[in-house]
């Protein structure tokens, strides 16, 4: 499924929303002139069925596309079986509630390496995702599970790992966080490198993947071990305009979610910059 354009929005309810609930947040996204919002269920998924339908109705009314960020505490490579099972349940619950809300993309951080070889962690994550997708499809749930490129070297989630997973497991696709890719390596911060990332996606998954991307972008502070925290674009070295130029040049469509501390301010800055790049083409 390809989308019609590149949509810009926030990670969670905008901070300028009069109330912190999802429906008020969706209305605020519309008022701001943004296009999408990620339901930030980063601690737990507590939304019931009735509320989910109301959220879906509001999103359709406002023409705001929704996605979901599942709880942070997910580790499909934990040595403790109960933690793995709890992680699987968190992903499933996020996908089930998200699907009721009309959200198709379910984003999550899949695992930590601990002291295990990356190849072994990959196999474990792959097996879990195969089973989770089977369970969702049996329920009639067509959500896409999107493990995210991660910002710390201790975390599973290199671009290469996620592209391989997406090739092998139908129903899995990457969430590409450009700030994380930069923080993890200290590199990946030039037009040439952004273009190489998009070329890798196209080569691995085809043009259709570029027309249905889920992207995170913000400022980021990092050190030798990778990500420290998200920051405002103005305070960071993230060359976001070059990211946007690459996205335009490769015909990327989908959702671009801003995770800066003041999400709507930076989301609007990126949306404006992107539109200016488009206008230059005309």
pLDDT confidence of residue 282: 47
Cβ(16)–Cβ(264) below 8 Å: yes
3-state secondary structure of 209: helix
pTM: 0.96
Question: Please, what's the b/e burial string for 95-134 (b: 16 or more CB within 10 A of its CB; e: otherwise)?
Answer: bbbbbbbbbbbbbbbbbbbeeeeeeebbebbbebbbebbe
- How many angstroms separate the CA atoms of 39 and 13, rounded? 7
Cβ(107)–Cβ(95) below 8 Å: no
Mean pLDDT of 6-11: 98
Tokens of 219: 């400022």
DSSP label at 235? G
Cβ(64)–Cβ(22) below 8 Å: no
Measured torsion, CA atoms of residues 71, 81, 162, 169, in degrees rounded to the nearest 10: -110
User: What tens digit of pLDDT does each residue of 14-65 get?
Assistant: 999 999 999 999 999 999 999 999 999 989 998 999 999 999 999 999 999 9
Mean pLDDT of 133-153: 98
HSE, side-chain direction, 13 A CA sphere, residue 107: 26
Compute the Cα dihedral for 82, 184, 268, 1 and give only its sign: negative
Query: Does the pLDDT value for residue 230 go beyond 50?
Result: yes
- How many angstroms separate the CA atoms of 253 and 213, rounded? 6
Other C-beta atoms within 10 Å of 69: how many? 26
Cβ(235)–Cβ(181) below 8 Å: no
User: What tens digit of pLDDT does each residue of 113-134 get?
Assistant: 999 999 999 999 999 999 999 9
Owner of token pair 């590149």: 6
DSSP label at 150? P
pLDDT confidence of residue 281: 63
CATH number of 6-281: 3.20.20.150
Q: Give percent of the chain with pLDDT exceeding 70.
A: 98
Other C-beta atoms within 10 Å of 259: how many? 23
Mean pLDDT of 187-210: 98
Mean pLDDT of 264-280: 96
Tokens of 61: 């009314």
3-state secondary structure of 261: coil
Q: How confident is the model at residue 67 (pLDDT cuts 50, 70, 90)?
A: very high
Report the side by side order of strands in the sheet with 175-177: 144-147, 105-108, 65-69, 36-40, 6-11, 254-258, 213-217, 175-177
């Amino acid at each position: 499924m390809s989308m019609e354009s590149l949509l810009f929005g926030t990670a969670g309810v905008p901070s300028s929303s009069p109330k912190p609930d999802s429906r008020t947040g969706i209305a605020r996204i519309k008022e701001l002139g943004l296009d999408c919002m990620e339901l930030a269920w980063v601690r737990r998924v507590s939304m019931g069925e009735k509320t989910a339908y109301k959220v879906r109705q509001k999103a359709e009314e406002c023409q705001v596309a929704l996605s979901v960020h599942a709880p942070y505490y997910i580790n499909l490579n934990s040595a403790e079986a109960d933690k793995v099972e709890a992680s699987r349940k968190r992903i499933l619950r996020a996908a089930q509630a998200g699907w009721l809300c009309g959200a198709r993309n379910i984003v999550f951080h899949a695992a930590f390496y601990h002291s295990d070889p990356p190849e072994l962690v990959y196999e474990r994550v792959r097996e879990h995702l195969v089973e989770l997708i089977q369970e969702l499809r049996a329920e009639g749930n067509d959500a896409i599970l999107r493990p995210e490129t991660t910002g710390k070297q201790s975390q599973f989630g290199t671009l290469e790992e996620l592209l391989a997973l997406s090739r092998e497991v139908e129903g899995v696709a990457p969430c590409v966080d450009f700030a994380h890719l930069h923080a993890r390596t200290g590199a990946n911060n030039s037009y040439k490198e952004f273009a190489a990332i998009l070329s890798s996606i196209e080569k691995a998954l085809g043009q259709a993947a570029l027309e249905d991307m889920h992207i995170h972008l913000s400022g980021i502070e990092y050190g030798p071990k990778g990500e420290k925290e998200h920051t405002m674009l103005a305070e960071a070295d993230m060359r976001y305009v070059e990211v946007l130029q690459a996205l335009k040049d490769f015909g990327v469509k989908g959702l671009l979610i801003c995770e800066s501390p003041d999400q709507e301010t930076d989301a609007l800055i990126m949306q404006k910059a992107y539109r200016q790049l488009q206008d230059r083409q005309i």
